[in-house]
Amino acid sequence: MQFLTRYPIASPKRWFRRDTLKDDGMAGLVLGVESVPDGLASGLLAGVNPVFGLYGYLYGMVGAALFTSTAFMAVQATGAMSIIVADVDLAGRDDPARSLFTLSIVTGLVMILAGLLKLGGFLRFVSNSVMTGFISAVGVNIILGQLDNFTGYAADGGGRIARALDLLTHLWRVDVASVTVGVVTIVLIVALQKTFLGALGLVVAVGVGSILAAVFGALDRNVALVADIADVPRSLPFITMPVFGEMFGMLIPAASLAFVGLVQGAGVSAGFPNPDGSEPDVSQDFVGQGAGNIVAGLFQGMPVGGSMSASSLVAGAGAKTRTSLVFAGVTMALVILLLADVVAFVAMPSLAALLIVVGFGTIKPSRVMSVARTGTVPLTVMSITFVLTLVIPLQYSVLVGVGISVLLFVVGQSSRLVTKRLVIHDDGRVEQTDPPPTLPGAEVTVLQPYGALFFATAQTLRDQLPDVVPDSRYAVVILRIRGADDAGATVMDLLRTYAADLREVDGRLVIVTDSDRVARQIRSVIDADLIGPRRIYRSTTFIGEASRRAYRDATTWIDERTADDRQEDGTDG
């Protein structure tokens, strides 16, 4: 258990401090009350029993608080994660509810594995253009996914876009009472958030909308309620074991959920410094989010991740420590135990209205325009990701987005490699010029590639190297490889081929590198008669020292070769 010592769970005595208890209690109360309608809405968005969203908020938040390094990270179901859950075919399984809980647990295991493997740094490979396209499409999906609940019309169609089009062609079939409740809720949410109520305005708006729905019900214009689609128990759930036989089949959606949750959680880690001045650890936060998912799954909750909005709310409400998250969980538990009947009569159009507001808030026109102004490639990548996220299930679009990011990175790196010639003058100055198209004979040519050296840039490097021709006899090429920890097999093959071409004209390829690994790769992969140990120069702490030494040695070697030729010519004469 020694590895647990760096996690907050190992120091429970530091949680409850008399000087911060009041502030944490008030902040937890605000977050807990606001999370009740939010949790129900997340369950609704995911297409599952809204109560499972409530349980996910409660247990995911408390479970994660025991392990995260970011004190104010509130782990809850996010809109993007809920949409992914909605695209997973849970209804077709033998026990859809337990399958949902299994998905939460598998997602947690993937997150914990990512944290233990320190994969936090890999998130930087996901480009801003991909995430902007993905998040914008998620916002559109959230809006489209709630039109049925908002209008009271069950549209036909195999996807959100198809159902939205069906709604547009059957507008006369919408339920006026449902739309009225939804519109009133939206107006109140927008208006009350600008008042002293702040985030609690969401609770008031949903409450007023639900009261209006009750009035319509008394007038025989029934509006759908939470009680119509789910039983809201008056107790907290017991532990529910996962369906072990389904865990392997859950890996793809779990990986997508984990990726989205970790990306959003990394934003929380970067945006909320700890009050004690300690640096947040993104990988430890991965573990914390994973723990939250496992606890949520065991207690009948849906998948969760770091929530920027909830973290902002608890921090803005005056929280001093992570104890505020525990108070928020206690508040939610009391609401479930004491006010279950009230929760059951929350109007579905009000929850849909809340989600529609969230969906519009997810779309950031300023970010979209920023990416569009950056260039054609980022705009194209953003557009492709946006369209794919709309037309294919999100668990696959997330993975496609990651693939696009990696491909974009590789293409970008390969196009940025530039090779220059370094001309060393007698007075010590070094002039940088373009490489010659062909290698001059009996001369030393020093070449410096700028950029990453790996398989995708190998051909670019070869295209920029001077061609070896019959007139290149006794040419020596000094290739400076700096800043590369691993050149890779493709680059090694290029060096072997180029060295062989030089040997055909009695020339040499010399390597100057600052990497022990690259030097070992050359010695172990390339024959010594092509690039022997004496043709590999190790860089020193003085810039250019090894290159000048290699240049002097190469010049001496050329002088010896040409002198031998002159001597042979004289003997023959």
444-450/418-424 β-pairing:
antiparallel
pLDDT > 70: percent of the chain: 92
CA distance 570 to 573: 5
Q: What are phi and psi of 52, to 5 degrees?
A: -65, -30
Q: How many CA atoms lie within 13 A of 412 on its CB side?
A: 12
pLDDT > 90: percent of the chain: 27
First to last CA, the chain: 86
Lowest mean pLDDT among 92-106, 309-323, 337-351: 309-323
Cβ proximity of 496 and 522 under 8 Å: no
Cβ proximity of 551 and 522 under 8 Å: no
- In this prediction, residues 450-478 reach a mean pLDDT of 88
Cβ proximity of 187 and 211 under 8 Å: no
Q: Which of 22-31, 77-86, 492-501 has the highest mean pLDDT?
A: 492-501
CA distance 28 to 16: 13
Q: pLDDT-based confidence at 523, cuts 50/70/90?
A: confident
Burial of 96-105, coded b for 16+ CB within 10 Å and e otherwise, reads: eebbbbbbbb
E strand map for 455-498:
476-481
CA distance 60 to 73: 11
How long a stretch of residues is the chain?
Answer: 573
Output Rg (C-alpha) for the chain, integer angstroms.
32
Lowest mean pLDDT among 226-230, 257-261, 382-386: 226-230
Q: What is the pLDDT of residue 303?
A: 94
Q: What are phi and psi of 476, to 5 degrees?
A: -120, 125
Q: Report which of 480, 487, 499 is spatially closest to residue 419, judged by C-alpha positions.
A: 480
Q: Report which of 329, 326, 322, 307 is spatially closest to residue 76, judged by C-alpha positions.
A: 307
CA distance 299 to 281: 27
Cβ proximity of 512 and 550 under 8 Å: yes
Q: pLDDT-based confidence at 91, cuts 50/70/90?
A: confident
β-sheet bridge partners, residue 480: 512
Q: Compute the Cα dihedral for 28, 29, 32, 37 and give only its sign.
A: negative
CA distance 263 to 306: 9
Q: Report which of 147, 54, 59, 332 is spatially closest to residue 157, judged by C-alpha positions.
A: 147
Domains detected in the chain: 22-164+190-409 (no CATH), 418-572 (3.30.750)
Q: pLDDT-based confidence at 415, cuts 50/70/90?
A: low
Integer angstrom CA distances of residue 226 from 81, 161, 343, 556: 21, 25, 7, 87
476-481/444-450 β-pairing:
parallel
Q: Compute the Cα dihedral for 13, 18, 21, 23 and give only its sign.
A: negative
> Where do the H-state alpha helices sit in 153-280?
160-168, 176-192, 200-218, 226-229, 251-271
CA distance 477 to 421: 10
Q: pLDDT-based confidence at 371, cuts 50/70/90?
A: confident
Q: What is the pLDDT of residue 197?
A: 77
CA distance 346 to 363: 27
Sequence-distant (≥ 6) Cβ neighbours of residue 534 within 8 angstroms: none
Q: How many CA atoms lie within 13 A of 529 on its CB side?
A: 5
Sequence-distant (≥ 6) Cβ neighbours of residue 7 within 8 angstroms: 66, 67, 284, 287, 288
Whose tokens are 């009750």? That residue is 214
CA distance 227 to 341: 9
Q: What does the block give as tokens for 66? A: 């025991």
pLDDT in tens, 175-186: 899 999 999 999
Q: What is the pLDDT of residue 569?
A: 62
Report pTM. 0.69
Q: Report which of 42, 33, 51, 43 is spatially closest to residue 233, judged by C-alpha positions.
A: 51
CA dihedral 428, 429, 432, 438 (to 10 degrees): -40
Q: pLDDT-based confidence at 2, cuts 50/70/90?
A: very low
Q: pLDDT-based confidence at 526, cuts 50/70/90?
A: confident
- 103 vs 324, which has greater pLDDT? 103
Q: What is the pLDDT of residue 290?
A: 94
